[in-house]
Amino acid sequence: MPAAEQWESYFDSPGILDALAGPHIRGDAIEFGCGYGTFTVPAAQRISGTVYALDIDPAMVAATWARVGEAGLRNVVVEQRDFASDGCGRQSRSAGLALLFNILHIEDPVCLLREAHRVLHPDGLAAVIHWNYDAATPRGPPLDIRPRPEQCRRWAEEAGFQWLRDPKLPGCPWHWGMVMRRCA
- Render pLDDT for 140-153 as a digit per residue (tens, 0 to 9): 899 999 999 999 99
For residue 156, the enclosing domain spans 4-182
d(CA 46, CA 55): 21
- The pLDDT value recorded for residue 16 is 95
- The pLDDT value recorded for residue 183 is 85
Q: Which of the 8 DSSP states describes residue 47?
A: B
The Cβ of residue 127 has, within 10 Å, a number of other Cβ atoms equal to 26
- The pLDDT value recorded for residue 78 is 98
d(CA 150, CA 23): 27
- The pLDDT value recorded for residue 3 is 73
The ranges of the chain with pLDDT < 50 are: none
Number of domains in the chain: 1
Closest CA to 10 of 161, 140, 104: 140
- The pLDDT value recorded for residue 167 is 96
Which CATH number is 9's domain given? 3.40.50.150
- The pLDDT value recorded for residue 2 is 65
Sheet architecture: strand order including 161-165: 76-80, 51-55, 29-32, 95-101, 120-131, 175-182, 161-165
